[in-house]
Amino acid sequence: MSSRTEVGRLLAGFGSGMRPLAERELGTYGPASLLRGKRVLDVGCGDGRLALGAARLAASVVGVDPDADAIAGARAKARAMRARNVRFRVGAAQDLPLPSGAFDVVIFSWVL
């Protein structure tokens, strides 16, 4: 790869159509108290499905994905849901421009 901006562009994401509802998938990771009131990072968030699901419980959520088109879609979904505690950023998991200790919970699902 010639630059980090190409990370995630080689194999486009499939979206969320084949995955379970966010609430169901998040529930398999643990009880709702795992997210309630927490600062959550969703690495490889794609179209924001899990980040937006987590936003219903979390104090704040940041979703990061290298695909700018997926991030644009996630932002549109957040606006439509009026989710004010979630932000989406273009970025790669290998080079997260985020401070250490800024999150209580990290979601890393269907990324590899």
Whether the pLDDT of residue 2 is over 50: the answer is no
Nearest 5°: phi and psi at 32?
-55, -30
Give a yes or no: residue 70 inside a domain. yes
Whether the pLDDT of residue 67 is over 80: the answer is yes
Say what the pLDDT of residue 7 is.
Answer: 54
Query: Residue 109 class from Cβ within 10 Å (0-12 exposed, 13-18 middle, 19+ buried)?
Result: middle
Q: Residue ranges of the alpha helices (H) in the chain?
A: 22-29, 49-55, 68-81
Greater model confidence, 56 or 32: 56
Nearest 5°: phi and psi at 51?
-60, -45
Distance CA 68, CA 110 (A): 18
Q: How much is the average pLDDT of 72-77?
A: 96
Identify the CATH number of the domain in which residue 47 sits: 3.40.50.150
Q: How much is the average pLDDT of 8-16?
A: 51
By 3-state DSSP, what share of the chain in percent is helix, strand and coil, each rounded to 5?
35, 15, 50
Residues near 86 by Cβ (< 8 Å), separated by ≥ 6?
Answer: 48, 51, 52, 54, 55, 60, 61, 62, 63, 78
Give a yes or no: residue 27 inside a domain. no
Give a yes or no: residue 100 inside a domain. yes
Give a yes or no: residue 10 inside a domain. no
Give a yes or no: residue 7 inside a domain. no
**By residue range, what is the domain housing residue 48?**
37-112
Q: What's the structural domain count of the chain?
A: 1
Give a yes or no: residue 69 inside a domain. yes
